[in-house]
Structure 1
């Protein structure tokens, strides 16, 4: 039994319960009880105790869209790379990186990404991987890294025609192999999807090939209309918008997640809604790639689409995306009221709902029988914290660097900023050595 107490407890349950001096009791992999620190310490006197020291106790964050393979891009200079648009960014940087990645690159970049996630209080990561330099076994490398670090994760491989039919089929096989492996697990720590890059790099034949290897209870993880060029491609080649094309091919549905959806029309929004397809928005990445601002407020409020929040490899700190998401829509719509309620809804309510379409244990909430994914943040605050203003305190006062303790599936993964059970210095050293090797190969 483990108690985490003496903190302002944000449960995220249906009653929006908030304890000014709250405590969480963990029994094994699940939450046993929540209440005041006094109540739970009296009720479980023999339990191990973590003192939050007046900070904040809350559910672990969930990142609904990440690209672990982007880890070694930090600080990288690519000879001759001067992008003028998003297609240049893909071809000149990301595809050049993933065509060079080997299995060791994938493994060590994943170790860093999962370590960084723990340090930023992210307990569940949905990743979208690409490593066309070495496809077979690449998801196993990510899986092994997640296992060693103890992070809950859902993985897929980015299927694309961009490197030819043989590699497209190898990517589908990599997905199918990992889907089967994850289905055999009983610990609810790793799941799988059929990954797809985007409509403009996948023919109808390839999409049908993906579908043939995708079980009915597994969906697709795909980028949709991230750039206007994707739209033009679909109209020119197929005479229809992207979402319509994917709908006609049976790609949409409750288990499918569409990334970005920046340049889509109202009818496409209706199709996403009517098929109960999930959408994840990535505000920092969209701004960084200069691809535009998605109609997220409209999709969420007018069409009722289940929308979540991801980082798209830009960072492993989802509070950054929360903060940028709050202001990008205000700026874009010239509306000071935009995103105040929508962004916390995406991060704190919708991300858990989306994740629970794959994971069995209830995520994103601290209540009996929910997953024991708990974080503690060192945050006092200059003003009173109440259940009505907790999102404002998080938005303006907290970030991933404030996380002191991270518990995942009942296991203490970080205590007082010290990650437990691993040689952190070795992970960083090995990653830097591997990154230097990758950089040399890219520019060689």
Structure 2
């Protein structure tokens, strides 16, 4: 891998002590940041490096998405048969479950690729994906991994185990997770063990998953996204979701609990005691009308709270903005969701989460020895920009169109808004060609679900 020298950047370092450094340079070798210093000094020190001139743009760590669903790409613009779903269980039954059943190997690949194009263009360099394709389970994670590899991004992948499609497919989902997790590791791709949610997992399935997971592995599961998850758990076990899953050993220091909108204080304490990572998806929560997690309390109590997008666009700054605004209106209190807390979730906490899967690597900061996952942002502030007020500049000033270059592990994936690793036009054309088949199959599945419901 060639040495790369980024020059004349306004560096935003993030990390535990964020700094903004004017006219600085970054020297990268073997995908790692080897030196940081004033541009004139590093230009003289590394005369043979390939130079990428930032021209005064902000140079900062790439964004990280802590919870997403590539397979949802084909939902864009799609009509849902029947009356509009009145609540989240109906959304699952009329939209997501019929859609994931409509996917085959080709559409799994296409949905991943369009999301990866979107991620590169929006400066999101690492994604934690949660996949489901009940009629194309075996090898589905390899298909997604190949797409991630072609894109050059960093990702953590899993398959969603559930009982909703029968025991044969449940066991196939377990096998897909185990196979992928135990396969030879890729420098930029890791696996974890996906579970849907307590409400679609019976006791025998939970035991089977815990028995099958490779040593040291963790789970990635939806938790209390809607009250129905809690109601189901109470009916099954007499316990709330977190307590029920705790009995089976689901909660580990590398387990991800997505949403946690309706957990109570006892459940929160269990998650904190077990060291579980909780992810917040504000755009999705608003769209599904499920409510708002108590993120201010989570942060005040020192929870490991992260930020995801749940399959929305990979413009993570949109979720910064949504989180900042959502909790103010829900609570009718402008003090909620402080910008500094949003920044901590999205940068420091998201980076520490990803490091659970890349334990030998330092991610999400510009420092010597860190992974060179970097973006350029063409943001020209008209008020003072400091390390202290940066979160509010990002929430009120940053737009996704301002990302001009994206780099992962020292490899340039986009330069001056030109994609270098993926052919966007070809990918979009291929995805568009498959769309009528996916939509037709989805519509049949959705109508069947309405009739059976």
TM range (shorter): over 0.9
Greater shift after overlay, 329-338 or 372-381? 329-338
> How far is the alpha carbon of 1:333 from its aligned partner?
2.3
Q: Secondary structure at the match of 1:123?
A: strand
Aligned to 2:448: none
Q: Deviations over 1:159-208 (max 9, x none)?
A: 10001111111111111111112xx22x4311111100000000111011
Aligned to 1:438: 438
Q: Equivalents in 2 of 1:421, 1:353: separation in Å? A: 27
Residue correspondence of structure 1 range 1-400 to structure 2 within 5 A: 1-80=3-82, 82-181=84-183, 184-185=184-185, 187-302=186-301, 304-340=302-338, 341-359=340-358, 360-400=360-400
Q: Equivalents in 2 of 1:3, 1:57: separation in Å? A: 12
Q: Is contact 2:379-2:398 (8 Å) kept? A: yes
Which residues of structure 2 form unaligned runs of 5+? 445-453
Q: Is contact 2:15-2:348 (8 Å) kept? A: no
Q: Equivalents in 1 of 2:121, 2:275: separation in Å? A: 33
Note the aligned Cα RMSD (angstroms): 1.2
> How far is the alpha carbon of 1:276 from its aligned partner?
0.4
Q: Deviations over 1:70-93 (max 9, x none)?
A: 011101113325201101100100
Aligned to 1:401: 401
Q: Is contact 1:278-1:306 (8 Å) kept? A: yes
> How far is the alpha carbon of 1:436 from its aligned partner?
2.3
Q: Is contact 1:308-1:350 (8 Å) kept? A: yes
Q: Equivalents in 2 of 1:436, 1:47: separation in Å? A: 48
> How far is the alpha carbon of 1:258 from its aligned partner?
0.0
Q: Equivalents in 2 of 1:297, 1:203: separation in Å? A: 32
Which residues of structure 1 form unaligned runs of 5+? none
Q: Is contact 1:64-1:126 (8 Å) kept? A: yes
Q: Equivalents in 2 of 1:331, 1:28: separation in Å? A: 47
**Which runs of structure 1 show a deviation greater than 3 angstroms over 4 or more consecutive aligned residues?**
none
Q: Equivalents in 1 of 2:236, 2:212: separation in Å? A: 25
Q: Secondary structure at the match of 1:376?
A: strand
- Relative to 1, partners in 2 of residues 1:20 and 1:89: Cα closer, same or farther, differing over 3 Å? same
> How far is the alpha carbon of 1:384 from its aligned partner?
2.0
Q: Secondary structure at the match of 1:15?
A: coil
> How far is the alpha carbon of 1:400 from its aligned partner?
2.4
Q: Equivalents in 2 of 1:139, 1:250: separation in Å? A: 24
Q: Is contact 2:9-2:59 (8 Å) kept? A: yes
Q: Equivalents in 2 of 1:110, 1:232: separation in Å? A: 33
Task: Give me the TM-score of the superposition, normalised by structure 1.
Answer: 0.97
- Relative to 1, partners in 2 of residues 1:78 and 1:125: Cα closer, same or farther, differing over 3 Å? same
Q: Is contact 2:159-2:194 (8 Å) kept? A: yes
Q: Is contact 2:16-2:348 (8 Å) kept? A: no
Count of residues in Structure 1 that have an aligned counterpart in Structure 2: 440
Q: Deviations over 1:226-275 (max 9, x none)?
A: 00011111111110010001111100010100000000111111100100
Q: Equivalents in 2 of 1:36, 1:401: separation in Å? A: 28
Q: Equivalents in 1 of 2:17, 2:317: separation in Å? A: 23
Q: Is contact 2:61-2:364 (8 Å) kept? A: yes
Q: Is contact 1:72-1:435 (8 Å) kept? A: yes
Q: Equivalents in 2 of 1:81, 1:103: separation in Å? A: 30
